[in-house]
Chain A
Amino acid sequence: MKLTKPLIVFVCCIALSPASLWAQTERPRAFVGAQIIPISGAPIQDGVLVVSGGKITAVGSRSSVNVPAGAEVIDVNGKVIMPGLVDTHSHVGGGSGGDGSGPIQPETRILDSINVRDNSIMRARAGGITTVNVMPGSGHLSSGQTLYLKLRSGKIVDDLLIKDAQGNIAGGLKMANGTNSIRAGSTGPFPGTRAKSASLVREQFVKAQEYRNKITRAKGDATKLPARDLALEILVEAMDGKRMVHFHTHRHDDILTALRLSKEFGFRIVLQHVSEGWKVANEISAAKAPASIIVIDAPGGKLETVDLVAENGALLERAGALVGFHTDDYITDSRWFLRSAGMAVRAGMTRDKALYGMTMAGARMLDLQDRVGTLERGKDADFIILSGDPLSVQSKVLETWVEGMKVFDRNRPEDRLYAVGGYGAGRDEFFDFSCFDQGRDNR
């Protein structure tokens, strides 16, 4: 019958969806002979990395690690393995947050707007990124909820989510100050000045405090609870420390304003961009606020970044701040993310802290330090195989693995197209009905 083939294809595709593939992959894999950079300790020459069930089960020198019987052994002699990169600020997937109706819209979500088949997501995998904080923009004081994603090979956003034990979707809250969120000369609802920006934010957080108080006083009595408010409940999560605020801020005084608000309302904060962070490095360090910075090749482009210096990372490191990196894709291309480390070292950061900034620093900024950021037993098997030293311009990301599944392989022509570019690279990943031949394999 005519309907049979499409039906078979449909059933086949469901059966071979990523979820069921994960269940099938139980055989351990041992990657043998690479230089391993675990980040949690010194690099291991002639190392062995064993992964199974999506986790790292062993990592160490060849002499100290027993390769389990029956494991698939992969020779990675001459290569370098390090943890998958953590991009703490990206706009891949073409998602959105708030619209033009007002400057504070924490109720809007990247979850409801991202396209995970967008070609930018393919490029992120090619760049060695395994965990990414996808954010709405900086045109608002708060543009919405961010999403922490694992770049698994998925067709829908649900395939890429990170969930905690209670089933909560991992993500943060985007906030911003400075010129992007100001509409000069505005008569409302957007702020026209920096002072107005801060006071609008304070008003909302005060409302959130009162909302929280009402809920507490209600002691579960449904008749006393306030009507559920999608925006205020997110601000409450931030104040309760359950949702990290990722705060876009450039100028030194704007950075201090962000810290001031964080202190007043008790929300945890990651400073994002921090172009003039070097001017207030001691204050940032004293506030224990992590700083996620971007490596940009020239100052200017807007007034807030005219004093951007290449030494930003080095100066923040020296002041004792936690420094991480991001692409702000599409501002910089995800495929060049690893370049951040080399360029930061060029300008004075230590090698160790620069590589930490690409991995574990980001993990900590996303509260995912127990799962990713280093190559340690028990952590997610998120790693990249490089052709050489991560700080060398010549080194390529050869393979990207997320939870023990290969999601990018430079040797596959369709993957190489996104890594290097070329005709068709502008096209989103298409859903091909090749279920019969297993489609995208995981080896």
Chain B
Amino acid sequence: MKTNRVLQGMTLWLFILTIAASTTVSAQQIAVRGETVYTMAGQPISDGVVLIRNGKIERVGSARQVNIPSGYQTLRAKVVTPGLIDARTVVGLSGYLNQPHDQMQLELSASIQPELRAIDAYNAQEKLVEWLRQYGVTTVQTGHAPGALMSGQTMIVKTIGDNVDEAVVNPSAAVATTLGMAGMAQGGRSPGTRAKQISMLRAELLKAREYDTKQTTAKEDQKPARDLRQETLARVLRREIPLLINAHRAQDIMSALRLAKEFNLRIILDGASESYLVVDQIKAANVPVIIHPTMFRAGGELENLSMETAATLRKAGIQVALQSGYETYVPKTRIVLFEAAAARANGLSQEEALAIVTTDAARILGVDNRVGSLESGKDADVVLFDGDPFEYTSHVTGVIINGKVVSQQVK
């Protein structure tokens, strides 16, 4: 009878929907069990469990204390860490093809363009984003590159998503600034000298201060026309976002500190290969350092780089994070997991080497409320390894971002 068939049809649909619903629910519930779990929020846990639910970390503890409820998909690993953080990269703007159409990290029409936003240039589907993800890099500060006095803004994203809106954590994280030879303009334009770099920055910040004052105090009909560039620098002057200053020579680091002091800016040093010469000054200014990749080529302004600088800075009590940096040729990106391994072999302990790509990086980037450690309530970004994460012959065996398994490739 017709009614019978309708009923059968409905039952079948109900059945399918229930199955679908229960599978969806299980995909949101994961238990990661590791022989060693580095929570980066206390001692590593032997035979630890990380419970994940609805994109967040639900609970972390030893297997004895934490029961894995039924319905949770269990993944096992020898070593478990928080998702790795690359504190300064250009992936998504600087693509792997290295062709004109996929190189969006530097606009050279003017030396000072802080208003350029990274969100307007990010290609979430760029191959190098996936490449980093497979090696356990789950959060990155990416955007405009060093190479112009003020090249534009950076942002913070997860290495997932089909588009920038799905990936974004902080759409406007810092203003990328470059001092020294890399910050000079091409074709005889300004700046052509170090002195000119600083005087241009000072003049622009003064202009922005005036703009900001007028915007806040003037009557509505007497306010200046809205100016994106001045607006961005006004945010910098108000300490709402930092200047991310790429500087390698000791004199350029000192110029950065001097500028920060004059205008009471928040700054983060980027690269800083000669920072070991001015440790006391950096420490006194309470400025964090995103140190250059450990295995970076030692040439030009980086000729005096030392593999031990991360350790030197950390020992002095300076906040340090690690980066994959900006490469114009081959390799088109570095991988912070490997750079951290190299730093581990040059004066850092196991947990210090993990900290510069997890907790400490999260703190410097202002995203430690969400990422950087395996703690209840934080984003479920987790990496699984089959051995010591820093050993050459170990592998990443799984990557979870926002509570979803995004890679199970053995890399």
Contact = CB atoms under 8 A, between A and B. Distances in A.
Given A330-B299, A333-B295, A425-B298, A296 B330 contact: yes
Interface string A105-124: 00000000000000100010
A145 B94 CA distance: 36
B96 A299 contact: yes
Interface of A: 119, 123, 296-303, 305-306, 310, 330-333, 336, 339, 341-343, 345-346, 391-394, 396, 420-426
B303 A426 contact: yes
Contacts of B327: 301
Given A123-B298, A346-B393, A393-B341, 9 more contacts: A298-B128, A301-B332, A303-B97, A330-B297, A346-B395, A422-B276, A425-B305, A425-B306, A426-B304
B393 A298 contact: no
A298 B392 contact: no
A425 B308 CA distance: 13
Nearest to B339: A297
A341 B346 CA distance: 19
Contact of B99 (A303, A342, A343, A396): A303
Given A333-B295, A392-B392, A300 B304 contact: no
A300 B345 contact: no
A422 B341 contact: no
Sorted from nearest, which 8 A-B pairs have the closest CB atoms? Answer: A300-B96, A426-B303, A342-B392, A301-B330, A421-B306, A300-B332, A301-B332, A422-B306
Given A393-B390, A393-B392, A425-B306, A302 B342 contact: no
B304 A425 contact: yes
Interface string B343-372: 011100000000000000000000000000
B331 A342 contact: no
A346 B394 contact: yes
A420 B306 contact: yes
B127 A421 contact: no
B95 interface: yes
Nearest to B334: A297
B240 interface: no
B379 interface: no
A342 to B, nearest CB: 3
Interface string B376-411: 000000000000001111110000000000000001
Contact of B334 (A298, A331, A420, A422): A298
A19 to B, nearest CB: 31
15 contacts: A300-B96, A300-B97, A300-B98, A301-B96, A301-B329, A306-B127, A331-B329, A336-B342, A346-B392, A396-B345, A421-B306, A423-B276, A425-B303, A426-B298, A426-B304
Contacts of A333: 295, 297-298
Interface residues of B, number: 42
B14 interface: no
Interface string B117-137: 000000000011001000000
Contacts of A345: 392-393
Contact of B344 (A306, A393, A396, A420): A393
A324 to B, nearest CB: 18
B274 interface: yes
B133 to A, nearest CB: 12
Contacts of A420: 306-308, 346
A299 B131 contact: yes
Nearest to A418: B298
A299 B346 contact: no
Contacts of B131: 298-299
A391 B298 contact: no
Interface string B160-176: 00000000000000000
Contacts of B263: none
Given A422-B276, A423-B277, A423-B304, A393 B127 contact: no
A393 B411 CA distance: 17
Contact of A297 (B276, B338, B346, B390): B338
Contacts of A297: 331, 333-335, 338
A343 B128 CA distance: 19
Contact of A299 (B307, B308, B332, B334): B332
A296 B226 CA distance: 47
A301 B335 contact: no
A300 B342 contact: no
Interface in B38-96: 95-96
B307 A298 contact: no
B83 to A, nearest CB: 19
A396 B356 CA distance: 22
B367 to A, nearest CB: 24
Contact of B393 (A305, A342, A422): A342
Contacts of A119: 303
Contacts of A331: 329-330
A300 B128 contact: yes
Nearest to B99: A303
Contacts of A300: 95-98, 127-128, 330, 332
A297 B296 CA distance: 12
Contacts of B344: 393-394
Contact of A421 (B277, B298, B333, B391): B298
B49 to A, nearest CB: 28
A278 B96 CA distance: 20
Contact of B305 (A339, A391, A396, A421): A421
A302 B331 CA distance: 9
B135 to A, nearest CB: 9
A394 B332 contact: no
Contacts of B391: 342, 392-393
B94 to A, nearest CB: 10
Contacts of B395: 346
Nearest to A347: B411
B73 to A, nearest CB: 27
B304 A424 contact: yes
Contacts of B392: 339, 341-343, 345-346, 391-393
Contact of A394 (B306, B329, B345, B394): B345
